[in-house]
Chains A and B, each alone.
Chain A
């Protein structure tokens, strides 16, 4: 398992090739990229890594996760730059897809990152979206059927 909060870019295939457990049969990945507005990402060093670890540990309780990599960048980012990578390896696709989406949803509402957009008319902190809270909350329904890729 790898969690990294870094300024540097990352390479998707380098990260997924590091998953070597022979039981792995499925890898689901998500890459977030900067849209058309340059931005600066600030974070709370120390807490960020702790929160991401907690989210990954929660995913491992809910689904079969054989390996997992989460990379989140901070600092100055320009349009089309990669921001975040979530890669989850499991035996089957159902668990990999679900855990990947779960981690991403919680990362958006729990990990202490803040985006500041730099538009021609000035710089502004991005406001949190209610839709992100709703996306995370839907995982709290206890009787949600467990996805399986079989």
Chain B
């Protein structure tokens, strides 16, 4: 199952990438699952997605909780708490 993953702001800089297509292993079907999958890569990903890290997420441009389900073709975004206005 392929999904498009986007990173923004400090998270984008930390990981050194703003977008990538990821082919998810069977069994990863939620935002939390994707987050664990990314964290398991180690290095900057391990640090960026560690349990305490404040990371917000969106699926297809709607803010969602970690429990949200993802399906093939989804656009999943990870970013720090927002600071506009």
Partner of A112, one of B10, B54, B79: B79
Partner of A113, one of B6, B10, B77, B85: B85
- Given the complex, which residues of A lie within 8 Å of B79, measured CB to CB? 44, 112, 114
Total A-B Cβ pairs within 8 A? 72
Give Cα A84 to B85, complex, Å.
6
| B84 contacts A108, C-beta separation under 8 Å | yes
B31 to chain A, nearest CB (A): 15
| A46 contacts B61, C-beta separation under 8 Å | yes
- Give per-residue flags for B41-85: 1 if the beta carbon is below 8 A from chain A beta carbons, else 0: 000000000000010001001110000000000000101111111
| A114 contacts B85, C-beta separation under 8 Å | no
For chain B, give the interface size range. 10 to 19
| B83 contacts A51, C-beta separation under 8 Å | no
For chain A, give the interface size range. 20 to 34
| A residues 126-140 in Cβ contact with B at 8 Å | 126-129, 132
Q: Is A75 part of the contact surface with B, judged by Cβ < 8 Å?
A: no
Give Cα A114 to B9, complex, Å.
6
| A111 contacts B82, C-beta separation under 8 Å | yes
When A44-B8, A125-B9 are in contact, do A115 and B83 touch as well, CB less than 8 Å?
yes
| A116 contacts B9, C-beta separation under 8 Å | yes
When A50-B62, A114-B9, A116-B9 are in contact, do A128 and B84 touch as well, CB less than 8 Å?
no
When A114-B8, A125-B9 are in contact, do A50 and B61 touch as well, CB less than 8 Å?
yes
Give Cα A113 to B80, complex, Å.
10
- Given the complex, which residues of B lie within 8 Å of A84, measured CB to CB? 84-85
| B61 contacts A43, C-beta separation under 8 Å | no
| A residues 32-71 in Cβ contact with B at 8 Å | 32, 41-44, 46-47, 50-51
Known: A47-B58, A112-B77. 11 other contacts (CB 8 A): A44-B6, A47-B62, A50-B62, A72-B85, A84-B84, A111-B85, A113-B84, A114-B80, A125-B80, A125-B83, A132-B85
Residues in chain A within 8 A of chain B (CB atoms): 32, 41-44, 46-47, 50-51, 72, 83-84, 104, 107-116, 125-129, 132
Counting from the closest, the 9 A-B pairs by CB-CB distance are A113-B84, A128-B81, A114-B9, A108-B85, A47-B61, A125-B10, A126-B83, A115-B83, A111-B84
